[in-house]
Structure 1
Amino acid sequence: MGVVKVSQSFKTQVTPDRMFKALILDSRNLCPQLMFSSIKSIEYLQGKGDAESIKQINFTEASPLRYVKHRIDGLDKEKWTFKFTMIEGDALMDKLEKITYEV
């Protein structure tokens, strides 16, 4: 088993609060509208977006992927942090056990 860590940072003129709200809290509604050619829908299979929720992203027929499932591991709205793990889906390519993200 191996571990790979990737770190990225971005500069933006949008405030952290507004960026967090758009990218994390409202992503279920915004992503299918903004990325309509690749994301068909995002739905919660368990929970409503808080810790331990399970979210499924369904891709369009134009995408090489069908779906991925994420488990939300942590959400702190005051510190603008979000932790989640990809637990199932085509993106794991039957070679990866999981992918964990921290935003």
Structure 2
Amino acid sequence: MGVITFEHEVSSSIPAPKLFKAFILDGDNLIPKVMPQAIKSVETLQGDGGPGTIKLITFGEGSQFKSVKHRIDEVDKEKEVYKYTVIEGDALKGIIDSISYVVKIEASENGGSVCKTTSHYHVKDEADHGITEEKIKEGKEKAKAMFHAIEAYLHAHPEY
């Protein structure tokens, strides 16, 4: 078993607290509303939204995957850090044990924010994991599109 790590950064004109609230704390409701083609629904299977909570994410019609389950590992509202792990689902393709994520939203000098994501792919067989730079880039682009859709929603709804 091995671990493959990727990092990704996206800048936003939205202040960090507002972006954290929308993207992380209210994301279960807001993302399916803003991008139903990407995320059809998010259902809490167990827990209260804090560490240990298990969620079922059902992807939209246009996705190559049907669903995943993820476990919340940490929600730090003060530091605007969210950690979770994908523990089950067809996105793991039988070659990945889990994917853990650390999402940190930091204030930027211009009054906006920077969303920094680190992902750790825990692969079953280091030699034959099938994770290519192309597939990771594709995933990053989808995440970036979702991020910008939330950002556009917040600009269109300043009262949020």
Shifted more, 41-50 versus 55-64: the winner is 55-64
Q: Relative CO higher for 1 or 2, CA cutoff 8 Å, sep ≥ 6?
A: 2
Q: 5+ unaligned residues in a row in structure 2: which ranges?
A: 104-160
Q: Does 1:31 align with 2:35?
A: no
Cα deviation, residue 66, structure 1:
1.0
Instruction: Describe the superposition over 1:55-84 as per-residue Cα deviations: whole angstroms up to 9, x where unpaired.
Output: 110123432211101000011000000110
Q: Which residue is equivalent to 1:64?
A: 64
Q: Which residue is equivalent to 1:40?
A: 40
TM-score by length of 2: 0.62
Larger radius of gyration: 2
Q: Which residue is equivalent to 1:52?
A: 52
Q: Distance in 2 between matches of 1:61 and 1:39?
A: 9
List structure 1 runs of 4+ shifted beyond 4 angstroms: none
Q: Does 1:95 align with 2:124?
A: no
Residue correspondences, number: 103
Cα RMSD (Å): 1.1
Note closer, same or farther for the CA distance 1:16–1:96 as it changes in structure 2 (3 Å cut): same
